[in-house]
Amino acid sequence: MFKKVNELFVKSSLKVRGMIENERGSQTLEWIGIAAVVVIVVGIISTAFSSDAEFGKTVVKKFSDWIAKIGGGGA
């Protein structure tokens, strides 16, 4: 009886260890995660710069002022 339990334990632990060490598909998951982050960032930016958003108007004005200062057109 103990021999069968021990054998079952060894087989199951080897199977679990194999699943843990198997990294197949991990690169795909990383790319999916990166794509999800990009989609979220694009969504946030498009919302921030929509025609109704004050944040977008403020950022555009700050960048315009900054560029004008670099070009010598501002104070």
Report how far residue 20's alpha carbon sits from residue 23's, in angstroms, rounded to the nearest whole number. Answer: 8
Report how far residue 59's alpha carbon sits from residue 64's, in angstroms, rounded to the nearest whole number. Answer: 9
- pLDDT for 40 equals 92
- pLDDT for 34 equals 94
Q: How does the average pLDDT of the chain come out, rounded?
A: 81
- pLDDT for 73 equals 61
Question: What H or E segment, with its residue span, contains residue 36?
Answer: helix 26-48
Neighbours of 59 (CB within 10 A): 14
Nearest to 50 by CA among 36, 40, 60: 60
Give me the percent of the chain exceeding a pLDDT of 90: 12
**Tokens standing for residue 3:** 């021999």
pLDDT digits (tens, 9 = 90+) for 22-38: 777 778 888 899 999 99
